[in-house]
Amino acid sequence: MNRILAIETSCDDTCAAVLEGPRALSNIVSSQARLHARFGGIVPEVASRRHLELINPVIDAALEDSGGDLESVDAIAVTVKPGLIGALLVGVSTAKAIAAATRKPLIAVDHLQGHVAAAYLEPDPLEPPFLALIASGGHTLLAEVREAGTFAIAGQTLDDAAGEALDKAARLLGLGFPGGPAIQREAAEGDPEAFGMPVAMSRDGGLDFSFSGLKTALAYAVRDLGAEETRERRADLAASFQSAVVGQLVAKLGRALDAGDWDAVALGGGVAANALLRERARDLCDERGVRLKLLPFELCTDNAAMIGSAARFEPPVAHPDYLALDAAAR
């Protein structure tokens, strides 16, 4: 399977990419963030409808940027789970229609395998074994990757995802959506030690995460300060919150390194675009003498290149066997 057209619509980004092996020839992302911003979060039905409008032009742009056309593609890959069901269905139906009309095989991809497989993309691909910290708006987990195409979960969040916590915090602070980048910008002006945030899960020796207590602590701080003082101290609140989220992610990553014999770490998911997380992970990995693979921002947040990368390790399904294939929310 040489050339793959990959499609990703699991959340609020409409994405298509063309790959040749580990090389992305094109990678188009049409973000719906501004559309959802006025609601303060992603509205699933709005996302599905927008995917419908964007999917064909986004695929056309990915093919055009690749310098080829549908004829030059050997297989169609698509995210089938997990995600917003209506959003996933747009990508899956489109992929099935294109594959069936051209009699090409279809490759079903798991979104989380995609975030891990972003590490396999050129340039500077990382080969297993490695430990991956995937932190996004929907997931937060430590994945033990021993061979490409699979991983074992060493720890995961017991409640909110890290990105979800940042999005909720940004909303509490009136900073807009998506919250991660907004918190990062605001935090740049603030003191990370101004507000004591609870250090979640620090006493339990495991590798699971928890972010809901942090969100509650911020809600209480905002309530106690009142609207005006919250506005005045917003940078300090953002910096303290960001530092607590990143602190927990890095503490668990360190603990996972202690528990195993890893010599490489990859960060993935939208939160891996966070500057403080990248800096702290760099310090940790330097300290331990472990290689750290950081992705460019556009491969941290949702994209189809990572789906095409994961597709290389999944079996292609021949026409017409995939016509019954369904999307799944989880």
Contact with ligand KG4 (CB under 6 A) among 29, 145, 273, 304:
273
Which is it for strands 140-145 and 130-135: parallel, antiparallel or unpaired? Answer: antiparallel
Q: Which residue in the set 110, 144, 160, 302 belongs to the binding site for Zn ion (CB under 5 A)?
A: 302
* Burial environment of residue 330 by CB neighbours within 10 A (0 to 12, 13 to 18, 19 or more): exposed
Smallest distance from the beta carbon of 302 to Zn ion, in angstroms?
Answer: 4
What is the nearest approach in angstroms of Zn ion to the Cβ of residue 115? 6
Residue of 84, 271, 304, 327 interacting with ligand KG4 (CB under 6 A) = 271
Q: Does 178 bind ligand KG4 (CB under 6 A)?
A: yes
User: How far is 119 from 274, CA to CA, in rounded Å?
Assistant: 17
Residue 186 engages Zn ion in binding (rule: CB under 5 A)? no
Instruction: Choose between 12 and 236: whose C-beta lies nearer to ligand KG4.
Output: 12
- Does residue 5 contact residue 18 with C-beta atoms inside 8 Å? yes
Window of 169-177, 256-264, 296-304, 314-322 that interacts with Zn ion by CB under 5 A: 296-304
Q: Which stretch binds ligand KG4 (CB under 6 A): 18-26, 51-59, 74-82, 132-140?
A: 132-140
Query: How many CA atoms, within 13 angstroms, populate the side-chain half-sphere of residue 111?
Result: 33
Which residues have C-beta within 8 Å of that of residue 20, sequence separation ≥ 6? 2, 3, 4
For residue 88, the partner it binds in ligand KG4, Zn ion, none, with Cβ less than 5 to 8 A by kind, is: none
Interface with Zn ion, residue 136, by CB under 5 A:
yes
Using the rule CB under 6 A, is 181 a contact of ligand KG4?
Answer: yes
Residue from 4, 5, 7, 11 touching ligand KG4 (CB under 6 A): that is 11
Strand order in the sheet with 264-268: 152-156, 140-145, 130-135, 264-268, 291-293
Contact with ligand KG4 (CB under 6 A) among 274, 294, 295, 322: 274
Q: Check: CB of residue 139 under 8 Å from CB of residue 112.
A: yes
Which is closer to ligand KG4, CB of 91 or CB of 163?
A: 163
In the set 110, 144, 160, 167, which binds ligand KG4 (CB under 6 A)?
A: 167
The DSSP code sequence of 258-312 is: HHS--SEEEEESGGGG-HHHHHHHHHHHHHHT-EEE---HHHHSS-SHHHHHHHT
| 307 contributes a contact to ligand KG4 by CB under 6 A | no
Report d(CA 77, CA 319) in Å as an integer: 13
Contact footprint for ligand KG4 (CB under 6 A): 11, 136-138, 163-164, 166-167, 178-181, 184, 269-271, 273-274, 301-302
Residues that bind Zn ion (CB under 5 A): 136, 302
